[in-house]
Structure 1
Amino acid sequence: MLQPFEPEDEVLSQESFSRDEAAFNLIHTISASSDSWRLKSPDGRMIFAQTPGRSGWLWLDPELAEQEMLARMQELKNALMTRATLQEAAPTSFELPGISAKPHIARLFSDLYAGVGCWTSSMTMEAYHCPIVNPPRGVKGGMQRVEATERLLAAEFLAGMVRDVYGKPADGQGQLTVADNLIRDGRLFFWIGDTGDPSAMAGIGGTSPRHGRINAVYTPPDRRRRGYCSALVAEVAGLLVERGLIPMLYADCVNPDSNKVYRSIGFQPAGKIEDIKFDRQP
């Protein structure tokens, strides 16, 4: 039977999961939230974490045979369906709209949970980690922490990122809360280009025992291909290195430009994650 676990549970520091820590950084971030739903198998070879209303993240020990994986996935499906039955008063927040996992695992679970042909692949991401940062040379400008007075511009940059990455309509007003939280915590940065204006943005997301995640990366279209993004990401990566962490980030596999930028400053592939959305609930 699957068991709930606490944010600092030893299952998150076991050797087999630690080998996948960079790719599954978000499991640490989700698990740290008090309202997340966290489950593990008794032997620790399956971990599931979900923020209410969001896709769940699923890790399975890669050394398990496929039939063993399927057996654990069936246990997870049963637990999810039991949860939905017990929480009928708030069905939306207790639904599982999708799953994020290694591509093979994500597809196996989606077939089992939603049914063959009843899901859609939303995005495949490459997780990158950066053992040694290789900053670009000759980029004009410098990094500056985003101030509260710049919240509107930061929110507009975040909306641009949402439109670029997820292909969804977004405006600055809808991103103000995210911008305010990042600015309040001192985790959001601009690159001030040679014109004296903010020309790129990047932030620091969640951390795990050995890794720190870079997120909120965006460059306005008219300021791209000038090195601003690579210079800023390298600077933010340096901040994480100073804290004793290995920088990591996720990049959409269909965007060759961003993948090229990250590789050029020292980021190395650490595993693919596929995000799948379910077309129906079981």
Structure 2
Amino acid sequence: MRPDDWHLTHDLDAFLERAGDFLRSRPALHTVPLTVVDTLRRRGPHVYGTEDPLFGALDTGDGVTGVFFRTPPHRLNLTSLTEEGAEALAERLAADGHDFPGVSSDRDTAALFAAAWSRRTGLESRQVERQRLYRLGELTSPGPVPEGRARVAVAADRDLLIRWHDAFLDDTGAHTGQDAGAWADSRIAYGGITLWETPDGTPVAMSGATPQVAGQVRVAPVYTPPALRGRGYAGAATVEVSRAAQASGAAEVLLFTDLANPTSNGLYQRIGYRPVTDFAVHAFG
């Protein structure tokens, strides 16, 4: 396998022409690239940052077997690769002078690429996050449903969504690069956030879902303000979002958890989510 077997482009349409079928072939494992590419198509190439995204597909002539994308200044995101594929990609990106803060992929691929990148650049790598991908099986309520009801967020909730978007990023340490207002507008436009509100109409938690792409929907983000946690609000909202995703015809309803958070992992399993595979994030430098 040669470094030139990796075909790199900034052209989203060209990338999808080459790699679209491959991405759609494993919608659960490819949920992140599928949803990111969909967002770029709907909202423009600079939704995650001012630089043009970079895409790559591994194609030795017998079809695509792996892809990556990067939305600068964020980390590299990879689908599953063999050791040879990871080595070839590291060699290609290093030779072309690329620089990025880290890599995210399934646990084994992330480790393979991080080691290859360190050998070629001299940069140290360290695992900074462990995630688990879950798929919904039989949906169940996690316990007594708190008083209140679920409703889809509307334009009048925009300021609240902006605040909770930023609070969620602060809590998780994530940095998507999206403008919070534009994110809220996009979610409101397609009904992508469900709020749980108390009987007096006060919103107390939110649970979101991505648009359906290739038959899969991913639940995210899920957030409850710290003072309101432990009362079942997020679980109730997530049950409603999951139910709506199934009712919409999604073949697979997915979500990621941080493995360092046993509370969320336990909650989602009680709702009916079952592990698919583990992912990892490695930082460089």
What band does the TM-score fall into relative to the shorter chain?
A: 0.7 to 0.9
Supply the RMSD in Å over aligned alpha carbons.
2.5
The equivalent of 2:118 in structure 1 is 114
Partner of 1:40: 57
Give per-residue Cα distances to partners, 1:203-249, cap 9 Å, x unaligned.
Answer: 11254323101112101122112211111101001111012112111
* Alpha carbons of structure 1 residues 208 and 122: separation in structure 2 relative to 1, 3 Å: farther
Gaps of 5+ in 1: 62-68, 85-93, 169-173
Superposed, 1:14-29 pairs within 5 Å as: 14=25, 18=26, 21-29=27-35
Which among 87, 98, 101 is matched to residue 97 of structure 1? Answer: 101
Shift of 1:82: 4.6
Task: Give yes or no for contact 1:23–1:128 (8 Å, CA) kept in 2.
Answer: no
CA distance in structure 1 between the aligned counterparts of 2:129 and 2:56, rounded to whole angstroms: 24
Q: What amino acid is the match of 1:38?
A: F
1:212 equivalenced with 2:232 (yes/no): no
State, as a whole percentage, how many aligned pairs show the same letter: 23
Where does 1:45-56 land on structure 2 (aligned, <5 Å)?
Answer: 45-56=65-76
CA positional deviation for 1:70 = 2.7
Unaligned runs of 5+ in 2: 9-13, 46-52
TM-score of the aligned structures, taking structure 2 as reference length: 0.80
Contact 1:155 1:175 in 2 (8 A): yes
Aligned in 2, Cα 1:74/1:25: closer, same or farther, shift over 3 Å?
Answer: same
CA separation of 1:159 and 1:140: change in aligned 2, threshold 3 A:
same
Matched residue type, 2:68: F
Which of 24, 31, 47 pairs up with 1:13?
24
Distance 1:258 1:248 in 2: 14
1:151-201: CA deviation from partner (whole Å, max 9, x where unpaired): 222122122211221288xxxxx7333223222332112100244310101
Work out the number of aligned pairs and report it.
255
Give the match for residue 169 of structure 2. Answer: 162
Tell me if the contact between 1:28 and 1:207 (Cα under 8 Å) persists in the aligned partners. Answer: no
- Partner of 1:13, secondary structure, is helix
Given that 2:15 and 2:56 are in contact with CA atoms closer than 8 Å, whether structure 1 keeps it comes out as no
Report the Cα distance in structure 2 between the residues aligned to 1:13 and 1:157, rounded to whole angstroms: 32
Aligned to 1:234: 239
TM-score (norm 1): 0.81
For 1:3, the equivalent position in structure 2 comes to 7
The ranges of structure 1 where at least 4 consecutive aligned residues each deviate by more than 4 angstroms after the TM superposition are none
